[in-house]
Amino acid sequence: MTTYTARAVDPATLAELRLRDDAGRPRVPYTDEEGGAPLRCCLRASRPGERIALVSYAPLRRWAAATGAEPGAYDEQGPVFIHAETCEGPGTRETYPFARPGALRVLRRYSADGHILGGRLLRIPDPATEGFDTALAEAFADPEVALVHVRAVEHGCFHYEVRRA
């Protein structure tokens, strides 16, 4: 079975979001006293005392601008946590981020023109890797699927993107 890679927000995009987010607002950094915020820059939870920011991010819009796709009404933006300053990035991972067994995720499938082709609800199993690999293999079995967005069901937040290899 193919192993898929979770993609963090691109460093160039992060640099832009640290100046002004996709809703046009400047970032407002703060110290995360408790930790646990899902950081989309390095695909891990924040640690107590780290400086982070909650910014508006439009992942499909960013992808469409780079590929020439026209997502139309499927373009959306929402909140994501990032480090307030440049971080080490995601590094090499052997597991999917934010994969707490029992949590619900939706895997949204998008075509090369940026339109939603469908989705799948996934209750993260234990072990999580096999569950994600199976759900992603299912998604990419459709040749029309160009990328998949993994989102939290509870808040609809974008977690990360997976692209066709």
Is 108 a domain residue? yes
Q: How far apart are CA 103 and CA 7, in angstroms?
A: 20
66/128 same-domain check: no
**DSSP-based three-state secondary structure for 1:** coil
* Per-residue pLDDT band at 4 (split at 50, 70, 90): confident
d(C-alpha 143, C-alpha 130), whole Å = 21
Report the number of distinct structural domains present in the chain.
Answer: 2
Q: Which of 83, 117, 140 is the last residue of a domain?
A: 83
Q: Give a yes or no: residue 92 inside a domain.
A: no
Distance between CA atoms of 45 and 38, rounded to whole angstroms?
Answer: 5
DSSP string, 12-44: HHHHHHTTS-TTSPPP--EEESS---EETTTTE
Task: For 98-148, write each residue's pLDDT tens digit.
Answer: 999 999 999 999 999 999 999 999 999 998 999 999 999 999 999 999 999
Q: Given this model, what pLDDT does residue 156 score?
A: 82
Structure tokens at 116: 């939603």
- Which of 83, 112, 145 is the last residue before a domain boundary? 83
CA distance 94 to 125: 16
Q: What is the domain range of residue 76?
A: 11-83
40 found inside a domain? yes
Out of 51, 83, 115, pick the residue that ends a domain.
83
Question: Average pLDDT, stretch 69-86?
Answer: 93
